[in-house]
Amino acid sequence: MEALRALVRKWPRRGRIVWPTHADVFELTGLDGETAVMTILSAAHAGADATAETLLAQADPRLWREIDAAARRDLTVDAMLGERLLGKRVTALDLAIAACCRQGYARELAMVELSTMDSLLAGPVLALRAADWVPEIRERAQAICAERLAADPVAAFAQLGPVAFALENRQAGAWLLSAVDSALADDRVLVAAMGNPSYRIRRAAYQKGIGDGRLDIAALNGAALRDPDQGNRGLCAEAAARLARLSGDVESIRVLLNSRLATVRAEAVYTLGEVDTAVDALCDRSAAVRLVAQIVLRRAERDPADHYRRLLPNPWAVAGLGETGTAADVEILLPCLEEPRVRTRVEAARALRRLGHTATETYVPLLDDPAPGVIKAAATALQGNDLAEEFLFGLVEPGRAKAVRLAGHRLLRSGDTLARLVADLRLLDDPELGVLARVDLRNCMRELTTLYTAPTGARADELRSLISGAPLDARITRLLRFYLAL
């Protein structure tokens, strides 16, 4: 510590420091690097270091990257840090920031001092400095990390691992990443890592365990059902299914049929390969699971569409029939548009569109449906149809339901460029669609650059009037008149 203080005494002297006050000095979530550094130093200055240290140790590992960069950028940090390090009581928080400052010798001395303390911050700081750009600092930090991993691999991995994975793309970050990955060879570390709060740590543990063949089907099933991260659940489900097929014990993954994640359920249906299981999965709410179930049935020379026809008007049977049926199924799907259940009507509109049914008279009445989902599905089906401009402009009139107005604007965007421009200009001040109109106006202007025919007659007069009265800046107004030759 004395060596660090001797070094700090040589730093340039500054005026009196006014310590910032924070409304909540214990809150580190969602802060940028600069604010986090000031919060940490203020917590140390206010004597709240114990609570702040605990929260910082539990913070997102990516925050450490921001702190590392911010401590070097901000000149105020040097002055505040100098006052703290020359004071009577230097805390682990002070040393953590000092280990990230711009002075190389100070970073090294603070890191070494912190590593001798019983502090939760030692691991993340050592991980940062193990990827330092200065070779001497980097090598010393790596030596300390190696000692910790050898002495107590479980504790060291828990402290070093999260930040190590957060630094994996840093130029000098490969050494520590390789070191913590090697530590997973220890079964104790592997088990602890699978329960780590960091999804990235858990994923590394699963990958290591799967690659080495150290995780059995029961462990993989448990992770596939309970891990908070969807990517990890899918990874473990795939490994469990592969292991079940190799061992011939496909029955062991039946439990995965109860998963909330569609990819896990789909993996289970495919691996079991049973007709009865596939039939039960035909009406799954996920299209991916339905697809796998349909494949299993076709392999058994069964037509999934026959099952869907018998299960109408179940909404997922309606969706499945749209995926597997033919144009002949349009007639039995049309009554589903009048079902009381909203999901059935939504899926019926989608299924009819998939089967190539484009009749305007089918979808236009759906634009008055009370359910926004049905209106949106109808608007999607109507895109590309030749609809009268008066009808489309009527859909976006004030007073209509917001879902109807959104559908009308969507149909106008997919149609004639000039009609779309008129709609955007009319809606610029609209409380519901104004923001959407402004965004679309910019996109519409790109299309105007390829418009080879200028508006004439009443359309030209209307556009000229709208452009003159629209709340647009002079540049946009000038460009519109230029593009339209008005």
Model confidence pLDDT, tens digit, residues 377-392: 999 999 988 899 999 9
**Rounded Cα distance, 94 and 40, in Å:** 8
State what percent of residues in the chain have pLDDT above 70: 86
Burial of 134 (0-12, 13-18, 19+ CB in 10 A): middle
Angle in degrees, 0-180, between the axes of helices 122-129 and 135-151, rounded to the nearest 10:
140
**Tokens 């890592």 found at:** 193
- Report, as an integer, the average pLDDT of 95-111: 82
**Rounded Cα distance, 55 and 9, in Å:** 31
Q: Where are the domains of the chain?
A: 225-302, 387-486
State what percent of residues in the chain have pLDDT above 90: 54
Mean pLDDT is lowest, of 82-86, 411-415, 444-448, for: 82-86
Distances (CA, A) of 70 to 51, 384, 395: 22, 53, 52
Highest mean pLDDT among 134-138, 282-286, 451-455: 282-286
**Rounded Cα distance, 453 and 131, in Å:** 61
**Tokens 């009037």 found at:** 465
For 186-243, the pLDDT digits (tens) are 999 999 999 988 888 999 999 999 999 999 999 999 999 999 999 999 999 999 999 9
Angle at 195 between CA 166 and CA 152, to 5 degrees: 75
**Rounded Cα distance, 379 and 392, in Å:** 11
pLDDT for 102: 80
pLDDT for 86: 66
* Closest C-alpha to 426, from 451, 380, 395, 403: 395
**Rounded Cα distance, 367 and 377, in Å:** 9
**Rounded Cα distance, 290 and 280, in Å:** 10
pLDDT for 107: 83
Contact criterion met (CB below 8 Å) for 40 and 97: yes
State the chain's mean pLDDT as an integer: 86
DSSP 300-344: TT--HHHHHHHHTT-HHHHHHHHHH--GGGHHHHGGGGG-SSHHH
Q: Is the pLDDT of residue 256 over 90?
A: yes
